[in-house]
């Protein structure tokens, strides 16, 4: 990876960090610090990232709030992976997306966070914050998880 690309990626990671960090929510702030740390650590394998920068974010993480146990989720991102949908699922998804256009993105972020081991409620909070969604999505998440479980795409 060229130094120019490395610097750009590092800049985007840090910029996203400051866009998402929420001083009102310890959960969101800790998650954002954790993900920023992991991304910078991964980037350091391919480009120039100062160890002090990685350590700066590592020191800000309350690791006791990061789940140790991960969940098994078979990724279901994109149109090809949605092939498990039945007609009712398609209607349901279209109806939700009329109200919340980025609902598919929300579910992708939710599943990523949920897979990391965060509780369902925590994953909802984090995904909503990341995408700027204010609507209550508890019922939609429950329905979606139920369908994933029925289709054996998730272990809970």
In this model, does residue 86 exceed pLDDT 80?
A: yes
Residues 6+ apart with CB under 8 A from 107: 127, 141, 144
Distance CA 154, CA 40 (A): 29
Do residues 145 and 110 touch, judged by C-beta distance below 8 A? no
> What pLDDT was estimated at residue 61?
93
Distance CA 114, CA 9 (A): 25
Q: What is the 3-state secondary structure (H, E, C) of the chain?
A: CCHHHHHHHHHHHHHHHHHHCCCCCHHHHHHHHHHHHHHHHHHCCCCCCCHHHHHHHHHCCCHHHCCCCCCCECCCCCCCHHHHCCHHHHHHHHHHHHHCCCHHHHHHHHHHHHHCCCCHHHHHHHHHHHHCCCCCCHHHHHHHHHHHHHCCCECC
Cβ-based neighbour number of residue 64 at 10 Å: 7
Please write the tens of the pLDDT for every residue from 99-147.
Answer: 999 998 999 899 989 988 999 999 999 999 989 899 999 999 999 999 9
- Where does the pLDDT of residue 74 fall: very low under 50, low under 70, confident under 90, or very high at 90 and above? low
Do residues 108 and 121 touch, judged by C-beta distance below 8 A? no
């Amino acid at each position: 990876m060229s130094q120019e690309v490395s610097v750009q990626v590092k800049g985007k990671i840090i910029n996203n960090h400051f866009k998402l960090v929420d001083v009102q929510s310890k959960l969101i702030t800790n998650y954002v610090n954790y993900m920023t740390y992991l991304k910078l650590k991964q980037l350091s394998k391919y480009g120039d990232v100062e160890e002090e920068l990685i350590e700066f974010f590592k020191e800000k993480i309350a690791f006791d709030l990061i789940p140790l146990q991960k969940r098994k989720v078979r990724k279901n991102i994109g149109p090809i992976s949605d092939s498990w949908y039945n007609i009712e699922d398609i209607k349901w998804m279209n109806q939700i997306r009329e109200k919340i256009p980025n609902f598919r993105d929300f579910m992708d972020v939710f599943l990523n966070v949920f897979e990391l081991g965060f509780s369902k409620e925590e994953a909802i909070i984090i995904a909503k914050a990341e995408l700027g969604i204010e609507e209550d999505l508890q019922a939609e998440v429950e329905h979606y998880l139920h369908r994933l479980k029925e289709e054996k795409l998730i272990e809970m």
